[in-house]
A and B are shown apart, each in its own frame.
Chain A
Amino acid sequence: MSGRALLAVAVALVAVAVGLTRVLENQYYYFAAYVILQYVVLATAWNILGGYTGYVNFGSAAFFAMGAYTAAVLIKAFGAPLPLLVVGAGLVAGLLGLGIGYLTLRLRGAFFSIATLALAVVLQTLIVNWRYVGGARGIYTIRPAQVPFFANYVELLFVVMVLLALGALATAWWIEHSWVGRGLMAIRDNEEAAECMGVPTLKLKLLATTVSGALMGVAGAPFPYYLTYMEPTSAFNLDYAINSLAMPMIGGTTTWVGPLVGAVLLGTAQQVATVTISSALNLLIVGVVVVAFVILAPEGIVGLVRRKLGKARA
């Protein structure tokens, strides 16, 4: 699909989303859709570093939570408007990505991954000890009373998340089709060879880490408003850690479509399942499915579909 066709689809989707808010009254759907869209952003962000570049980030929760807490601080200190929250969250999380990258990306990929694991634990500790954001007791955020254009604030958040998701997908699409993406994939396939072929591997890896981290932070920007009461366990939730890597791994890591497919499928399944099974069992199933996919179908659903189509043509 050409870039222009995709842009048209995106605009149409926004229109549909806004249209829905006029018609659909059941708030549950907006809450559920918000979570799924959030995962579209997280999965897409993860994949830029994981699928395209080959570096595994286990600490998505850290970047997401940094974004959420940055937003919370901006709201508390300045009463900042939503666009500023998004920018601020993106900046802080992006810097975090840059920092971790700078410290570990000169070494093996495994060390980067281990550092992201440790990072999540440490950041959670820091937040728990930070009284300004309520520490372990959490922080309350009051949604604005005046909501322009929409019936209530949750519907606004839903449309905002649609925009953020489309933005993330657009970013991934652009990277994938540009010289940046080709360089990243060369790094993924064989980093030493890429460096010898003129690819500035360190710079590109840092770029990927920063963009990926920033997008994850952006996903967290509206979170304080969404939850209204946020405390560290919900921001640093186990769900984020496993889902942001499960969704691209299941959907497919080589293109921007994979994380989207994974997020929508897995996210919807989880929303349906939470009503029937416990969240812990839900997570267990995700874990098992990820391991199964990584062993048996490493190219994900997109890969399987491609192979089927390839066979059909042959």
Chain B
Amino acid sequence: MLQVRLVITVAACALAMPALGEESYRIDPLHTATTFSVSHLGISLQRGSFGRTTGMVMLDPAAGKGAIDVSIDASTVTSGSPPREALLKSEDYFNVAQFPTIIFKSNKVRFDGNAVVGAEGELTMRGVTKPCALTVSGFKCAIHPSTKTPVCGAEVMATVKRSEFGMTKNAASTGDDVTILIAVEALRQ
């Protein structure tokens, strides 16, 4: 009888484990910076960033599962030059009036032990959805020393061809390959 109970208890625990192992994190927009760089004239690498990145990340390292749902406010694009920012917001580039949000979603998160090392998902930009792979480095979780809440941080990298999203202007001066770097900090819910 005791043995049966034990077995049931163990089984119940095992069933409960995946749910316990699943953790939700809300992206901290103040410390999550989406930046991008692109070759200009083949002689320099020009950078820009988005001021607001929000979203949720669900991680279950024990089950090797996770999900990412991130939105970038396209209208927060900056590049340190007002005329260039106007150009980036225009129909030729991000077309923010028509497509205010850039979205990345993934249900395929890759782990090395407990650390996230990558994700395969879909990037939607200017109304075009394409597969997009993220490389994640420096993944680390700890208790925030000031707020005492669990925080995870990482550096996320992806490369995309802007032409695949219909962003084909100024091909003579501006490269097609765009490197995206996202500094992420996310607070456990």
Specify whether A and B are partners: no
- Which B residues contact A (CB, under 8 angstroms)? none
- Which A residues contact B (CB, under 8 angstroms)? none
